[in-house]
Amino acid sequence: MKKIFIGGDHAAIEMKSAAIAYLRNTLACEIIDVGAYDGERVDYPDYAAKVCVEVLKDKEASGILICGTGIGMSIAANKHKGVRAALAHNSYEAQMAREHNDANVLCLGARTIGLGTMESVLDFWIRASFAGGRHSARLEKIAKLEDKCFS
Ligand code: RB5
């Protein structure tokens, strides 16, 4: 069973609920919801941090972050050393994010994609796995960039 930490801001409340239901009931994932839990205005970097800290502690876990566009969440998540966050708008991007980039955090835009697209993005991201090979060397270069820029 895949373990996923999920978080979102006030713009993400409806999509986060739908994503949790789909991940639990259709994709049989273990879900830990770090909030936000209601529509009160909050700041997306706080929820990006809650999810990323957990993902970095547990190498078997992944994260999902949702805000209005998914852009703020992806910018904030990628400030965490070791997080490879990818914003996906369709199933192809979701699959490539795993196969080529080994994305351990998926970002979604609640205002930019519908719930049907969200489900297909989740399907492909959950089912895909890292292809390794030439992509491993590229990820090693990214890790070196992190060492250089984030220390
Ligand atoms: C909130 O209004 C909005 O700015 C946020 O959800 C997100 O889209 C930021 O990137």
Phi and psi at 36, nearest 5°, equal -70, 155
Active site residues: 67, 100
pLDDT at 51: 98
pLDDT score at 79: 97
Considering the chain, what is the average pLDDT of its residues?
97
Given ligand 1 and candidates 44, 79, 87, 113, which is best to mutate, with the most ligand atoms within 8 Å of its CB? 44
Kindly report whether the peptide bond that precedes residue 36 is cis, defined as omega within 30 degrees of 0: yes
- Per-residue model confidence as pLDDT tens digits over 81-110: 999 999 999 999 999 999 999 999 999 999
Q: Is the pLDDT of residue 151 over 90?
A: no
Give 70 Cα–ligand 1 centroid separation in angstroms: 7
Describe the strand order of the beta sheet including 61-67 as a list of residue ranges.
30-33, 3-8, 61-67, 105-109, 85-87
Q: Is-above-0.85 flag for pTM?
A: yes
pLDDT at residue 11, rounded to an integer: 98
Q: Read off the pLDDT of each residue in 46-65 and give the average, rounded to a whole number.
A: 98
Q: Where are the domains of the chain?
A: 3-149
Q: What percent of the chain shows pLDDT beyond 70?
A: 100
Mutate to test the pocket of ligand 1, among 14, 69, 107, 112 (most ligand atoms within 8 A of CB): 69
Q: Which atom of ligand 1 is nearest to the CA of 73?
A: 10
Residues pairing with 109 in the sheet: 67
Question: Residues 97, 23, 136, CA angle at the centre, nearest 5°?
Answer: 25
Query: 3-149 maps to which CATH number?
Result: 3.40.1400.10
Closest CA to 37 of 66, 61, 16, 53: 16
